[in-house]
Amino acid sequence: MNNSPEVSSTAQDTPSSAPQPSAFERWRRKAMLVTGLGVTDDERLEDLRQHHIRDCERKKEYLMNYSPVVVFMLKHLKASGCEVPMSNVLCAPCDMSKAGGFTPDPGAVILCAGHFFSQQHMESTITHELMHMYDHCRFKVDWANLRHHACSEIRANNLSGDCRFTRELRRGFLSFSKQHQACVRRRAVESVTANPACPNEAAAERAVNEVWESCFNDTRPFDEDHCYVSVSLVLL
């Protein structure tokens, strides 16, 4: 038996009587946040965080609907039995060391709001993390196994666009000989080194070297969709 007091339908249907701020008040509040007059540093920081999250959500929604490579990955994840709803790609504040991440359980992609310098940067980050999700779904990756982790990192860096020439130039790496392979290897070693199951960088390098040839040449799901080959080559 429910002993809680009943709420009348009249009370439920009555809109809140709290007055809404006028356009002038909203403008005044925004001006205070921009100038810092009359607000605390914490309030300004929180306003900036919320702005970054809103901007991230807007761009994420666009890419999940219209980016050829992101839509392609979402299609193949669904075909593999791992459909990714919009709510499983989250925009959130992060530290400055990364742009995104993947959590195997419950299967979510994290986008670090405010860390993207272009829409293309966000696109390659989403693609990178969806590649991890695809590997986890289809190949049952054991992320504590350094060889498994290394293989997925090699594939994600190779196929997402993370190692395109312009991205490497922005990071301060310039090479005209095997630049792409060097980037894929370096970033894979960095990621595996950060794995809690990895004792040191030498172990990460060993794991990457052991699986390099087979995993670098594994371009699934791109090689399974012949209609997409020309698009993927342009993106990479």
**What pLDDT sits at residue 168?**
75
Calpha distance 41→176 (Å, rounded): 46
Enumerate residue ranges in the chain where pLDDT < 70. Answer: 1-19, 22-39, 41, 44, 175-177, 225-236
What is the predicted pLDDT for the residue at 34?
55
Residue in 78, 79, 101, 76 with CA at minimum distance from that of residue 90: 101
Query: Coil, helix or strand for 111?
Result: strand
Per-residue pLDDT, 105: 83
Catalytic pick among 123, 129, 153, 168? 129
- pLDDT at residue 233, as a whole number: 37
Query: Is 135:152 a contact under the CB 8 Å cutoff?
Result: yes
Q: Phi-psi category of 219—alpha, beta or left, where left has phi over 0 and alpha has psi -120 to 50?
A: alpha
Alpha carbon distance 137, 103 (integer Å):
12
Q: Which structure tokens are listed for 138?
A: 């289809």
**Relative orientation angle of helices 41-66 and 119-139, to the nearest 10 degrees:** 70
Q: Is 129 a catalytic residue?
A: yes
pLDDT of residue 3: 42
Q: What single DSSP character describes residue 81?
A: T
pLDDT on residue 15: 44
